[in-house]
Amino acid sequence: GVEVRDSKDNERGKIKEGGLKANNNGNQAVWIACAKGLVVRSKVMLFLKGSPDAPYCSHSRDAVRVLDSLGLKFDTYDVITAHPEVCQALKQQANWPFFPQLYINGVLMGGADILKAYAEDNVLKQELISRGVDTNSFGEPISRCTAKSEPPPCATDHVKDLGVRLSDDDQELVRLISIHGTKDWADLARKFGSKVGREGEVTAMKVRKRWRVIRPLIKEKVEEKAVMKCGHSCFTCPTRHECQIHDELEIDIEDLAVH
C-alpha cells in the first residue's frame, strides 16, 4: 500500500471516493495489465515526467535528486512520451493521480514529497531497504545536471492572454514563478524587487500574499483551457514542461490534456 506521511504529496494524492474516472474504452483492461507489467519491470522503478538527466517538472527533478543522493540504481519510465492511456492506467491501478511515482518491488511507495520527507528524517535508505531494496544497489552520490533552463517567452509572457487582468508588477511576478517556482520566497522577493526597481522593499510575505490573490485567477483560466494569442492553451503549449506555473497551481497538465 501507500505509506501515509504528513506531506503535500499526500494531500495532492488523495482521490475522491470512487477513484479515478474509469475509461470507457473497451481496451481498459489491456492498459491496466500493461501498467501492472511496467511497475514490476525493475525492483526500483520511477515513473516521472522526462528523464533523470532532463526532468520536465520540479517534482520529478526532486525525486531524482533524492534517489541520486543515495547513489541508488533505479530504472525510469517517461510518462510524457507514453501513450495517454498508459498514464491513466498507472494512476488508476495505483489510486495515485500524480507523477512522479516510485515503485519498490511492484508496490507504490509514493511521490517526490514522500521521498523528501524520509530524506529529511535521514531514514530514506533504511525505508528503502525495509521495502526490499538490496544494499548493493546503493553507492556514491550521483551528480547530474538537472537544472532547468529559463523557459522561452511562450511559457512566461502570455498569461494576460488567458483573460486574467494583471498589472505589470503582477505579470513580472508570474514570470518569475514560472521560471523559479515558489520554493524560496525570500529569493523570489529579491529577484522581484530587483526587476521592478524596489530592491530591499519587497518582502517574502508580500510576494507570497500577492501570489495567493493571483493564483486562483490563473488556475481557473488554465483549467478552462483558455487559448492564448499564440494559438495554444496551457495544455498544448510546446514549452509547458519547462514552466513551473502548472506545478504551483497543482495541475497535472498532461492529465488535463487527455480529458
Q: What is the domain partition of the chain in residue ranges?
A: 8-137, 153-257
- pLDDT for 160 equals 62
The predicted pLDDT at position 105 comes to 94
Residue 159's pLDDT band (cuts 50, 70, 90): low
Q: What is the pLDDT of residues 28-38, one digit of tens each?
A: 788 888 889 99
Q: Check whether 71 has a pLDDT greater than 80.
A: yes
What is the β-pairing status of strands 101-104 and 107-110? antiparallel
Which uninterrupted H or E stretch holds 163? none
Residue 119 neighbours by CB under 8 Å, 6+ apart? 66, 69
User: Does position 98 have pLDDT exceeding 50, yes or no?
Assistant: yes
Residue 107: strand pairing partners: 104
Cell of 95: 489510486
Beta-strand runs (E) in 40-161: 44-48, 50-51, 54-55, 75-78, 101-104, 107-110
Which are the contacts of 36, defined by CB distance < 8 A and separation ≥ 6? Answer: 93
To the nearest whole percent, how much of the chain has pLDDT over 90?
32
Residue 244, phi then psi, degrees to nearest 5: -90, 0
pLDDT at 66 over 90: yes
More confident site: 236 or 140: 140
Asked if the model's pLDDT at residue 151 lies above 60, the reply is: no
Which CATH number does 8-137 carry?
3.40.30.10
Confidence band, pLDDT 50/70/90 cuts, at residue 23 = very low
Q: Kindly state the DSSP code that residue 47 receives in the 8-state scheme.
A: E
Contact 177, 211 (CB under 8 A): yes
pLDDT exceeds 80 at position 51: yes
> At a CB cut-off of 8 Å and minimum separation 6, what does 133 contact?
43, 44, 72, 104
pLDDT band of residue 97 (cuts 50, 70, 90) is confident
User: CA-to-CA distance for 160 and 46, rounded, in angstroms?
Assistant: 36
| Cα(43)–Cα(46) distance, integer angstroms | 10
